[in-house]
């Protein structure tokens, strides 16, 4: 029996992912590591901390990735809901996430980040079990819970990690905070690959697309138990920073005690925040809508080309794994292109003139993703449609670290979580409005949506290059260069008592 294009793609991409990630790990360990005599107990603590966090984080993400490929198909095909009802369920998820965005961060800081992560596991488990029922009211309640857990997943786990990183003074170790985020992105995508394959075989064995949701609930329980055994509790204060510069410094001093409304006003005065928010709304909105449409798109293309296989089904889990594999390759591409443009006092001009800056790479990813959506909008062949979606997911792999880089540089630590939450509200509103237009027009509607998204991404690419080209990236190089120059200058002087960096 001949392999499908999806299995073929996975067999091609899997070795490439293994080689790319392996090369990245070897390069980090042998080319950038410190001499053996400079290692310290703090480095061992950093290694243990990374392992402790990643074990829980990846289990939680595996629960989410088990379910993602089957959400639409479960509601549309197995439960026989019409497309408008499925859109309502999706819109309910994002409406719940938008409404809870302002509250979850405060509650996590007030009652503890570990408690919020435990709540995320409990709420997600209940949302997963809700798919056992066929009543629309129960499914809607489950989607409300899913939106709350999604918001906690995006905020509480990262907040716990950053706060614990600071509390242990790991900025003085060889594990930079930026490296920690890079590890999270890479291994999260790899986890998604294996989760997609596992989900495929669970559905194959049980015959029901609800069973990956039940398996996800089991993983949530395992993550909660492991969290209780290995994680400390930490809480925030109104001005606790949610991140540090790579050199371990916090840009804001303890004197910066702005209230939340003042932080909102300060953030909204920066036009770069608006540009990033618009780019996030366009691209991440496209990601979510593709998650809604891709299974039906590929299934329809398969049915057109294989009319003799009545009732035949595409391999949803395998396709999802190929998507995640291309995300990994895109992320590795970002690291490869930008690693030699790391700002320093001696390479600033070369990086600006002769290298691909993160800003240019960011805009290019948005531009190419727009082209891929135009191809997907008009493609009739199953292969061409699949390749267009793969190209979009590769751009997703470049987009994620690009957005993280720029947000980390532009948004102040004192109001980071609040600003991130505000930046997500237009995204959720965009998704809800887009899903609300979903009717019975089917392929024609999806084509219009893809064309509209492509136009928005073209505008977003142009906005990023024009608005951030002269200020954002250049400022980032200059700021880091200034810090390095100050550190180099201070290295030859005695440090005055009481002037050490916290």
Q: What is the pTM of this model?
A: 0.71
pLDDT at 243: 38
Position 496 pLDDT exceeds 70: no
Cβ atoms of residues 331 and 21 within 8 Å: no
> Distance between CA 417 and CA 237 in Å, rounded?
12
Say which range, 46-60, 230-244, 302-316, has the weakest mean pLDDT: 230-244
Query: What does the buried/exposed string (b/e) look like for 86-113 if buried means 16 or more CB atoms within 10 Å of the residue's CB?
Result: bbbbbbbbbbbbbebbeebbeebbeebb
Specify the CATH architecture of the domain 52-239: Up-down Bundle (1.20)
State pLDDT tens for residues 84-108: 888 889 889 888 988 887 777 667 7
Judge if 52-239 and 258-487 fold alike in CATH terms: yes
Residue appearing with tokens 């977003």: 460
Specify the CATH architecture of the domain 258-487: Up-down Bundle (1.20)
pLDDT at 46: 87
State pLDDT tens for residues 425-438: 788 888 888 777 66
In 301-448, DSSP assigns E strands to none
Position 459 pLDDT exceeds 90: yes
Residues in the chain: 502
pLDDT at 279: 92
CB atoms within 10 A of CB 216: 25
442 in the Ramachandran plot: left (φ > 0), alpha (ψ -120 to 50) or beta? left
Residue 106's Cβ-side half-sphere holds a number of Cα atoms within 13 Å equal to 5
- Contacts (Cβ under 8 Å, ≥6 apart) of 135: none
pLDDT at 417: 57
State pLDDT tens for residues 275-333: 888 998 999 889 988 887 888 889 888 888 888 776 667 888 789 889 989 998 988 88
Q: What is the mean pLDDT of residues 367-393?
A: 94
Q: Where are the domains of the chain?
A: 52-239, 258-487
pLDDT at 414: 52
If we measure between CA atoms, which residue out of 174, 175, 173, 120 comes closest to residue 150?
A: 120
If we measure between CA atoms, which residue out of 394, 395, 376 comes closest to residue 385?
A: 376
CB atoms within 10 A of CB 302: 19
């Amino acid at each position: 029996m001949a392999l499908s294009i999806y299995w073929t793609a996975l067999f091609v991409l899997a070795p490439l992912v293994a080689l790319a990630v392996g090369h990245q790990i070897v390069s980090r360990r042998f080319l950038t590591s410190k001499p053996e005599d400079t290692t310290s107990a703090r480095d061992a603590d950093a290694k243990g901390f990374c392992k402790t966090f990643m074990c829980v984080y990846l289990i939680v993400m595996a629960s989410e990735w088990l379910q993602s490929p089957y959400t639409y198909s479960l509601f549309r095909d197995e439960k026989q809901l019409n497309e408008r009802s499925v859109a309502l369920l999706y819109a309910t998820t994002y409406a719940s996430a938008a409404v809870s965005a302002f509250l979850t961060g405060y509650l996590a800081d007030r009652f503890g980040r570990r408690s919020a992560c435990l709540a995320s596991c409990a709420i997600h488990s209940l949302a997963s079990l809700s798919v056992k029922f066929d009543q629309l009211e129960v499914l809607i309640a489950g989607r409300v819970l899913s939106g709350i857990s999604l918001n906690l997943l995006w905020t509480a786990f990262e907040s716990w990690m950053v706060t614990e990183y600071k509390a242990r003074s790991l900025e003085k170790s060889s594990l930079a905070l930026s490296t920690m985020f890079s590890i999270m992105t890479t291994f999260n995508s790899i986890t998604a690959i294996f989760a997609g394959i596992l989900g495929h075989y669970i559905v194959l064995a049980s015959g029901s697309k609800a069973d990956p949701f039940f398996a996800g609930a089991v993983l949530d329980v395992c993550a909660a138990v492991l969290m209780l055994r290995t994680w400390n509790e930490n809480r925030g204060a109104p001005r606790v920073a949610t991140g540090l510069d790579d050199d371990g410094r916090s840009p804001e001093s303890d004197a910066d005690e702005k209230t939340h409304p003042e932080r909102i006003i300060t953030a909204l005065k920066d036009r770069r925040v608006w540009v990033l928010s618009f780019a996030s709304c366009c691209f991440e909105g496209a990601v979510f809508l593709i998650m809604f449409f891709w299974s039906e798109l590929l299934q329809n293309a398969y049915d057109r080309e294989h009319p003799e296989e009545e009732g035949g089904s595409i391999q949803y889990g395998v396709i999802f794994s190929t998507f995640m594999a291309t995300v990994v390759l895109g992320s590795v591409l970002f690291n490869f292109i930008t690693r030699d443009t790391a700002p320093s006092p001696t390479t600033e001009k070369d990086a600006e003139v002769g290298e691909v800056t993160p800003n240019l790479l960011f805009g290019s990813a948005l531009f190419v993703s727009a082209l891929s959506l135009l191809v997907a909008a008009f493609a009739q062949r199953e292969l061409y449609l699949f390749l267009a979606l793969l190209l979009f997911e590769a751009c997703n792999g470049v987009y994620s670290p690009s957005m993280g880089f720029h947000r980390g540089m532009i948004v102040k630590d004192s109001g980071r979580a609040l600003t991130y939450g505000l930046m997500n509200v237009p995204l959720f509103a965009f998704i809800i409005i887009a899903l609300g237009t979903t009717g019975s027009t089917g392929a024609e509607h999806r084509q219009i949506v893809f064309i509209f998204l492509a136009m928005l991404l073209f505008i977003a690419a142009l906005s990023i290059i024009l608005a951030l080209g002269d200020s954002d990236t250049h400022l980032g190089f200059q700021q880091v260069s200034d810090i390095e120059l100050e550190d180099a200058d201070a290295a030859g002087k005695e440090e005055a008592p009481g002037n050490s960096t916290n």
